[in-house]
Structure 1
Amino acid sequence: MNIKTFILLVFLCTTAFSCKNKGEDTAVRTEDLKAKQLFQGIWVDSDEENVVFKVKGDTIYYPDSLSQPIKFAIYGDTLELKSANDSKYAILKQSAHIFEFKNSNGDIVKLIKGEDPSFELQFANKKPTSVNQNKTIKSDTILFCNNERYHSYIQVNPTTYKVFKTSYNDDGLEIESVYFDNTIHLGIFKQETK
């Protein structure tokens, strides 16, 4: 086999493999828009009739002020929540007024669409809040140990560094809360020594 034939063979093999991989990478999932439309509204736990969440557009809103809204998509029989840790939930049953899915623990969660207008009040004028004390905390203490004097100084300063914490609510859905980080300064002095 001469060099030209070898180069042509390598080129053809490379082209064939790249075309095969390219076709696999470009496979695009299509979102189930009908299922997404059925999912719109306020959903209530079927047993206790507690509001679980509200769906508007492509976002899920939770009734508590610490949980951040989360983007979602429905592909086939799967509800996908888009967050720091994307999570997927198998949809078992969906209609205009019933939504059943399997949560991360494997439990079946049964929701019904909330028709009571008062449910909307749980979401009125609520913006997600971030947990932060918004003030500097200082502690200055002097203590004696073995006839030696110690001075401790602690200062906690709030920052604007956001920390996202992922947890699960009572229904086994992933939620994200936002906290602000703090910087802490701790100093301990022994008489004139640091």
Structure 2
Amino acid sequence: MKNVVVVLLVLFVWTACNSRKAEEGGRQQHTTDVQILEELQGVWLDDNTESPLFKIEGDSIYYTGQSNAPQQFAFVNDTLIVYGTQMVYYPVRLRTEHALFFTTPQGDQVSLHKSEVDSVYVEPQAEIRQPAEVLEKDSVIMFDGKRYRGYAYINPTGIKVIRPGISEEGLSVDNVFYDNVIHICVYQGTQRLYSKDIKRQMFSGLVPDDFLNNSILSDMDFIGVNVNGYVFEATLCMPDGPTCYNIHLLVDKEGKLEFKLRQ
């Protein structure tokens, strides 16, 4: 049995490494002609709205959306190849130093022209700034004649969760979101009964791994006290969609923490 497990692990690692090498090899093969790369530099505007869609600087595309991560690209054989969380191919119908017409994977036609000045565009930033505000929540709950107060401090972090998305123009973009670490504590009067930092990874095994890796710990509430201890409710959500898991955090009087999905 141990030999089977070892073989499976080796195959998994070999497959992952080869997949990564294949992607890196694809990038190395996709080399943009120096003259074409130079001609693509600058801010590109939508022909219909005159609004800036993106700026090309070096071998990267910087989108106008402040939550969009920059993406590397290559221009090969009349195809614009963009490397984000997914590799996307845009067939180019026309390209000159001042015009760029291409088709998105959804079939949308994108017609752009280069701006004469860069001032119409906010200068790109390699790192999108995470929010700095800490949100404090508290609730008072009476139980057995005693007054309990529970706090939740939602602390933004620099931990990025990158989710692929589609812009209004049909462009494939990588949206950047930031996870939270939530500090919870319970007081009775001035006596602190419990405190702990809660992180998204603590819910591993309780929700599907794919959901966990692409979600953020978005909210926390102190919802109850009973004979067994204190109850908080955490909310784990996809940052760009309505799908969420609500998880009860059960803290017993000895400080042992258990998680349970809310039914």
Q: What is the TM-score normalised by the length of structure 1?
A: 0.69
Q: Is the 8 A contact 2:69 2:128 kept in 1?
A: no
Q: Taking structure 1 as reference, are residues 183 and 44 closer, same or farther at Cα in structure 2, changes over 3 Å only?
A: same
Give 3-state SS (helix, strand or coil) of 2:121's partner.
Answer: helix
- Trace 1:1-194 onto structure 2 (pairs within 5 A): 29=29, 31-33=31-33, 34-115=35-116, 117=117, 119-124=118-123, 126-127=124-125, 130=128, 132-143=130-141, 152-184=150-182, 185=184, 186=220, 187-190=222-225, 193-194=228-229
**1:154: how far off?**
2.7
Q: Is the 8 A contact 1:152 1:189 kept in 2?
A: no
Q: What residue identity is the alignment partner of 1:82?
A: Y
Q: Is the 8 A contact 2:130 2:158 kept in 1?
A: no
> Structure 1: any 5+ residue segments left out of the alignment?
1-24
> Structure 2: any 5+ residue segments left out of the alignment?
1-24, 185-219, 230-263
Q: Provide the residue aligned with 1:10 in structure 2.
A: none
Q: What residue identity is the alignment partner of 2:76?
A: Y
Q: Is the 8 A contact 1:151 1:189 kept in 2?
A: no
Q: Is the 8 A contact 2:81 2:89 kept in 1?
A: yes
* Greater length-normalized contact order (CA 8 Å, ≥ 6 residues apart): 1
1:33-72 deviations in Å (ceiling 9; x for gaps): 1433332222111111111111122111223432222110
More strand per residue: 2
Q: What is the TM-score normalised by the length of structure 2?
A: 0.53
Q: Is the 8 A contact 1:151 1:191 kept in 2?
A: no
1:96-132 deviations in Å (ceiling 9; x for gaps): 22211111321111111222x2x434234x4255364
**1:80: how far off?**
0.8
Count how many residue pairs are aligned between Structure 1 and Structure 2: 165
